Chain A
């Protein structure tokens, strides 16, 4: 890994773990500065099956029932270019991709 890349940890919802055939956290090398957009791009590059499941594959907008939590903050409404909290950007804490709780 170059000095300008960070190891970012991501926790995915169970259905997306199944779809991507991963268990536990996904660890990705992401070029700094680490933003939501660069993390999602790296995730979709590693697991193309996830394209369109977290954010719309055409517009790039977050899907309505998906949320992003980082360092105990809901950053779902932050601009995709917003730099992630340093604890997440340096891999000390994971970025949580959350599926909204709903019945049915």
Chain B
């Protein structure tokens, strides 16, 4: 029978949650790296036992950890993230130039084909790659050398590259940067172009500018790499041309603010979001935690509530804190800033908490094992 393994990154360590294919009884291991912030942990598609985790603290900086046994044991690897060439400047919060400074890794994206190859999206926004299992990191500096980079400005969470989608059968890479927008490379990260046409952001002087949009997350199904779904600072968007143009598919959502967006593993037209009241109130509308599902690729949404708290719930669900498994029916998972990890073994119809009292959850990744 298949097994599911979840890698949960929290403000105070990482946890590994495992269950068989029924997804009823979960074993919880951890904390690993107790006391450190784990922004993200993700397994290699090419070797399910190879897992990468980014471990950070405000005191001691960035550590990259690697596991070769599915998360049971870990080894620190490389932690040198040095920008390539001239450091350059972006805009600071007050609009003045500010030199690029490495702060932390937000997102690790292991390569589809090579367990030793892994990308890191970092703050201040840049893309790094390791080809030796995380020991040495090299910047793919073409992104930061885009002519617009000097105008990029951080959002409240920092100037961070938080989303990276490698194309399933091509050298395409799609990156999301808060608050610069979405960018696409067709040559494996050498050159990039902004892909923000159709986005509208009222917090920038020109709401339809080429860059400056606070993209929160982008999701894609491998079977349709040109179809992209985006949760923006405000706005749930869809592109059918690899990001060249976007249209609003927020439809009947109670609010189109939020962080997470996810695509069903087996139904590429089915999309999930978790609406959050507003940029000023980072909790679900009315204190009711609801996942909203569209089976039409956006536009028409239905709330999924069974098993989720519908009163007095004021948690947030962060951008990397949702995941799907690839079983049938598809399993859905998300973690909250209140420390709950919720699971649905029936594509969102019913939910239950795997665990309720972890530290604030920053990320959840699901791995389907044979």
Contact = CB atoms under 8 A, between A and B. Distances in A.
Interface of A: 13, 15-16, 19, 49, 51-54, 56-58, 63, 65-66, 99-100, 102
Residue in A15, A63, A100 whose Cβ sees the most chain B Cβ within 10 Å: A15
A56 B102 CA distance: 10
A66 B59 contact: yes
Interface of B: 35-36, 57-63, 76, 79-80, 82
A99 B63 CA distance: 17
Contacts of B36: 15
Nearest to A51: B79
Contacts of B59: 13, 15, 63, 65-66, 99-100, 102
Contacts of B62: 52
A65 B63 CA distance: 16
B35 A58 contact: no
B307 to A, nearest CB: 31
10 contacts: A15-B59, A15-B60, A49-B76, A51-B79, A52-B61, A53-B79, A57-B80, A63-B60, A65-B58, A66-B60
Contacts of B57: 15
Residue in B61, B62, B80, B82 whose Cβ sees the most chain A Cβ within 10 Å: B61
Residue in A13, A51, A52, A102 whose Cβ sees the most chain B Cβ within 10 Å: A52
A51 B79 CA distance: 8
A101 to B, nearest CB: 10
A58 B80 contact: yes
Nearest to A48: B76
Given A52-B61, A63-B61, 17 more contacts: A13-B60, A15-B60, A19-B60, A49-B63, A51-B80, A52-B79, A52-B80, A53-B60, A53-B79, A54-B60, A56-B61, A58-B80, A58-B82, A66-B59, A99-B60, A100-B59, A102-B58
Contacts of A53: 60-61, 63, 79
Nearest to B80: A57
A5 B58 CA distance: 34
B126 to A, nearest CB: 14
A58 B36 CA distance: 22
Contacts of B79: 51-53, 57
A23 B62 CA distance: 22
Contacts of B35: 15
B102 to A, nearest CB: 8
A15 B56 CA distance: 11
B80 A19 contact: no
A61 B57 CA distance: 17
A48 to B, nearest CB: 9
- Smallest CB-CB A-B distances: 10 pairs: A53-B60, A65-B59, A49-B76, A99-B59, A52-B79, A57-B80, A58-B82, A52-B61, A53-B61, A65-B58
A52 B56 CA distance: 12
A9 to B, nearest CB: 21
A102 B59 CA distance: 10
A52 B60 CA distance: 7
A23 B79 CA distance: 23
Contacts of A15: 35-36, 57, 59-60
Nearest to A100: B59
Contacts of A66: 59-60
Contacts of A16: 60
Contacts of A56: 61
Contacts of B58: 65, 102
B142 to A, nearest CB: 21
A100 B63 CA distance: 19
Nearest to A20: B76
A100 B60 CA distance: 11
Given A66-B59, A102-B58, A19 B82 contact: no
Given A49-B76, A58-B82, A19 B61 contact: no
Contacts of A65: 58-59
Nearest to A21: B76
Nearest to A53: B60
